[in-house]
A and B are shown apart, each in its own frame.
Chain A
Amino acid sequence: MSASTKTSTLAGWGRVPVVPGVERRSEDLGALTRATHLSRGLGRSYGDSSLPAAGDLEVASTVLGDRLLAFDEQTGVMRAEAGLSLRDIYRIFLPRGWFTPVTPGTQFVTLGGMVAADVHGKNHHIEGCFGAHVTELLLRVADGRLVTCSPTVERDLFRATIGGMGLLGHILEVAFRMTRVPSTWLWQEAERVPDIDAFMEALKTASVTWPLTGGWIDCLTAGRHMGRGILFKSRWATPAEAPAARSRPRKRLTVPFEMPSFVLGRTSIRAFNALFYRQPLPRGIVHPEAAFYPLDVIGSWNRLYGRGGLTQHQCVLPNEAGRGAARRFLEVLVARGGASFLCVIKDCGPEGVGMLSFPRPGISIALDIAVREDTQALIDDLNEVVLKEGGRIYLAKDALTRAEHFRAMEPRLPEFLRVRRKWDPEGRFRSAQSVRLFGDAPFAGAGRLPA
């Protein structure tokens, strides 16, 4: 048991980049956030969103601040400390017939993180982002005060905080509306889709009748079948359809150590894709974790990507770009041989309340990419396409986008920065990502670890 030493480092879920840093943990988020410049939850953002800016070392880990403060059975409004995890909410409330209106693809996220990234899920075309369901936030702002904001009180601060990547202040408490669900199981159906254009069409059709949609695409196959894949459609099962027993949280396996890089090399991904595409199509009752969090079953699955780590590229290509946009994007990916084990596609509904929230009406494509020497060049090429099509990227996934690309994609940035300057004139709140993308300066002097 020795005190933290200079070797301690922090990384996001992709484990690229790795920076010097240390998490400060306390149940008392009020005290914890007085001297720190960034909050970090469960560290599921892929890149550098939750990492300290250069020259800074400490981030406030919110995970011990995880108390439920109130739940109103009539309205479904829940209030909790920012470190409460979606896993806990799901474990406690699903058996009682409640679920969060929006869930991202992992349950290992905190409420604070869900607000900061303004997460979306398979029902974005209906429910929008998580921020749409937030009724109030308690923040520690730059001058040290605790400020309450909501859609009606300090609206600018509220809108900038939703999707603002923690840069407006520390999120201490979140109040939001839960949704009633008819059972603890889902009904799922799937269809095989032969190419990317058919996929666009199928998503659009499915979204009319299904509340939860999303697809997996094979991004190694070129030519006529480029973008073939499987579209999954689901909804909460009715009490009549659902099994008599409640669904129970699943046990997890863990990847115990980093795998050699061939585990997720081109050959193995090609083999996986072929099998996955030909799988018998599910139709019927599924466990909610199987539908919402297929990867959570394997703890530390990021280790599958080996030493080099992984990055994710998620973009939204707007409807205005036309039907061919997704095809043009995939062509660049396939041409570069961008082996991606996981490629997820989803149609997005209207923009939410968050000033910098990711989704907008269009098609979102998310790629997991093992980091190699040429990954930066691949990300640059993909971002050129995104820019040309008028799209944008998702900050919670990003590690490698260049500032000039980001700024060109984000005409909303000046307005966000205006609100941020109003609440934090001295630029107290920074992250490694805000230094990389928002033009923030690193902190002066080399960071010093506390004694």
Chain B
Amino acid sequence: MKAVILGATKGMGRAVARALAERGDAVFLLGRDERELERSAADLKARAGKPEAVVGFAACDLEMPETFAPALDRAQAALGRIDTVVVTAGLFAPQDRLEGDAVLLRRVLTVDFTNTILFCEEARRRLLGNVVAGGALRGTLCVFSSVAGDRGRKPVVFYGAAKAGLSRYLESLDHKYRAGGLRTICVKPGFVKTGMTEGLRPPPFAGEPEQVAADVLRAIDAGTPVVYTPRMWALVMLVIRWLPRFVMRKIGF
């Protein structure tokens, strides 16, 4: 498989890139910082045990939509054909900070909703372009949304809203294009211990990025449209989705 990963240097993106490279897939890394990309590329090559594991990397920033097309073009040129695009990048800030900082709020909403969708659209066009004569299966778009988008909750008013919108976009995309060969996978991680959740107290069932990566690879291989990870969160969110409003209003979760 030939995969492009946006957000490959950190957190869950790093874990997904490692899992892909270690099992022999070719990866192309996208991220904000060239120097970090270079170090991550070295890491993946050493882990895979072969330099051809990492085909290349390019700078791409979810805050700068003008970087999307050139970065994906470079990936396509390097890989020949893109089979899978994974998007793990995103922006997070605690609710109380967002309520007091309109500039940061705009950034979070823009990155996690608008710009993620703009990036997905660039990816979608290229993946659909893979369709060859005969119309065989051509591509997978795997995007990290969040359990935060499943229900209106006090600690994630804005982040949850952006992720809810993103989840709905991914669902629609899957409905519209699956028959045409594009599989869309919406990953909903629960609490995962990464740099992004640094400083937050891990709740029960907090997961590690490696667990998430293993679940995500399984979903990509099987084409599962919605993945809760770690899997316990499917159960947790099933309960949360069915809680009545008067209960949600009372609890802090």
Binding site for B on A (CB under 8 A): 1-5, 8, 24-28, 64, 67-71, 78, 92, 96, 450
Q: In the complex, what residues of B have CB within 8 A of residue A26's CB?
A: 195, 198
Chain B residue with Cβ nearest A84: B43
Separation in Å of the A95 CB from the closest CB of chain B?
9
Separation in Å of the A110 CB from the closest CB of chain B?
15
CB<8 Å pairs between A and B, sample of 9: A24-B199, A26-B198, A27-B9, A67-B39, A67-B42, A67-B43, A69-B46, A70-B42, A92-B22
CB–CB A25/B195 < 8 A: yes
Known: A25-B195, A67-B42. A92 touches B200 (CB 8 A): no
How many residues of B are counted as interface, with CB atoms below 8 angstroms from the partner's CB atoms?
Answer: 26
| Cα–Cα, bound, A128→B156 (Å) | 53
| Cα–Cα, bound, A138→B194 (Å) | 24
User: What 9 A-B pairs have minimum CB-CB distances, sorted nearest first?
Assistant: A67-B43, A68-B46, A71-B46, A25-B198, A68-B43, A27-B10, A1-B200, A26-B195, A1-B155
CB–CB A5/B10 < 8 A: no
Q: Which of A1, A25, A70, A96 contacts B49 (CB 8 A)?
A: A96
Q: Which of B42, B191, B199, B252 contacts A68 (CB 8 A)?
A: B42
- Known contacts A1-B156, A68-B47, A92-B49; 10 additional CB pairs below 8 A are A1-B155, A1-B203, A2-B201, A26-B198, A27-B9, A27-B11, A27-B14, A67-B39, A69-B39, A450-B199
CB–CB B191/A1 < 8 A: yes
CB–CB B49/A67 < 8 A: no
Q: In the complex, what residues of B have CB within 8 A of residue A25's CB?
A: 193, 195, 198
Residues 159 to 193 of chain B near chain A (Cβ within 8 Å): 191, 193
Q: In the complex, what residues of A have CB within 8 A of residue B116's CB?
A: none
Q: In the complex, what residues of A have CB within 8 A of residue B9's CB?
A: 27
CB–CB A5/B43 < 8 A: no
Separation in Å of the A111 CB from the closest CB of chain B?
14
> Is B70's CB within 8 Å of the partner chain A?
no
> Is B94's CB within 8 Å of the partner chain A?
yes
Q: In the complex, what residues of A have CB within 8 A of residue B39's CB?
A: 67, 69
Separation in Å of the B22 CB from the closest CB of chain A?
7
| Cα–Cα, bound, A92→B194 (Å) | 22
| Cα–Cα, bound, A68→B47 (Å) | 7
CB–CB B43/A69 < 8 A: yes
| Cα–Cα, bound, A377→B47 (Å) | 48
> Is B145's CB within 8 Å of the partner chain A?
no
Q: In the complex, what residues of B have CB within 8 A of residue A78's CB?
A: 46
Q: Which of A5, A24, A64 contacts B201 (CB 8 A)?
A: A5
| Cα–Cα, bound, A67→B191 (Å) | 23
Residues 30 to 80 of chain B near chain A (Cβ within 8 Å): 39-40, 42-43, 46-47, 49
| Cα–Cα, bound, A24→B198 (Å) | 7
Chain A residue with Cβ nearest B38: A69
Kindly name the residue among A1, A3, A450 whose own CB sees the greatest number of chain B CB atoms within 10 A: A1
CB–CB B199/A4 < 8 A: yes
Residues 197 to 253 of chain B near chain A (Cβ within 8 Å): 197-201, 203, 252
| Cα–Cα, bound, A270→B215 (Å) | 44
Residues 1 to 20 of chain B near chain A (Cβ within 8 Å): 9-11, 14
Q: In the complex, what residues of A have CB within 8 A of residue B198's CB?
A: 24-26
CB–CB B195/A27 < 8 A: yes
Chain B residue with Cβ nearest A69: B42
Q: In the complex, what residues of A have CB within 8 A of residue B10's CB?
A: 27
| Cα–Cα, bound, A27→B49 (Å) | 22
CB–CB B14/A4 < 8 A: no
Q: In the complex, what residues of B have CB within 8 A of residue A2's CB?
A: 155, 200-201, 252
Q: In the complex, what residues of A have CB within 8 A of residue B156's CB?
A: 1
Q: In the complex, what residues of B have CB within 8 A of residue A92's CB?
A: 22, 46-47, 49
CB–CB A64/B199 < 8 A: no
| Cα–Cα, bound, A69→B11 (Å) | 17
Q: In the complex, what residues of B have CB within 8 A of residue A24's CB?
A: 198-199
CB–CB B201/A70 < 8 A: no
| Cα–Cα, bound, A70→B40 (Å) | 11
Known: A27-B195, A64-B194, A69-B42. A3 touches B200 (CB 8 A): yes
Separation in Å of the A253 CB from the closest CB of chain B?
17
| Cα–Cα, bound, A2→B155 (Å) | 8
| Cα–Cα, bound, A421→B46 (Å) | 38
Q: In the complex, what residues of A have CB within 8 A of residue B14's CB?
A: 27
Q: In the complex, what residues of B have CB within 8 A of residue A1's CB?
A: 155-156, 191, 197, 200-201, 203
Separation in Å of the A14 CB from the closest CB of chain B?
22
Q: In the complex, what residues of B have CB within 8 A of residue A71's CB?
A: 46
| Cα–Cα, bound, A148→B94 (Å) | 37
Separation in Å of the A365 CB from the closest CB of chain B?
36
Q: In the complex, what residues of A have CB within 8 A of residue B200's CB?
A: 1-4
Q: In the complex, what residues of B have CB within 8 A of residue A69's CB?
A: 39, 42-43, 46
Kindly name the residue among A24, A67, A68 whose own CB sees the greatest number of chain B CB atoms within 10 A: A67
| Cα–Cα, bound, A109→B158 (Å) | 39
Chain B residue with Cβ nearest A23: B198
| Cα–Cα, bound, A5→B92 (Å) | 20
Known: A64-B195, A67-B42. A3 touches B201 (CB 8 A): yes
Q: In the complex, what residues of B have CB within 8 A of residue A67's CB?
A: 39-40, 42-43
| Cα–Cα, bound, A78→B43 (Å) | 11
Separation in Å of the A262 CB from the closest CB of chain B?
28
Q: In the complex, what residues of A have CB within 8 A of residue B22's CB?
A: 92
Residues 81 to 110 of chain B near chain A (Cβ within 8 Å): 94
| Cα–Cα, bound, A325→B74 (Å) | 69
| Cα–Cα, bound, A64→B47 (Å) | 16
Chain A residue with Cβ nearest B253: A1
Q: In the complex, what residues of A have CB within 8 A of residue B42's CB?
A: 67-70
| Cα–Cα, bound, A54→B201 (Å) | 22
| Cα–Cα, bound, A368→B9 (Å) | 40
Q: In the complex, what residues of A have CB within 8 A of residue B49's CB?
A: 92, 96
CB–CB B155/A70 < 8 A: no
Kindly name the residue among A71, A78, A96 whose own CB sees the greatest number of chain B CB atoms within 10 A: A71
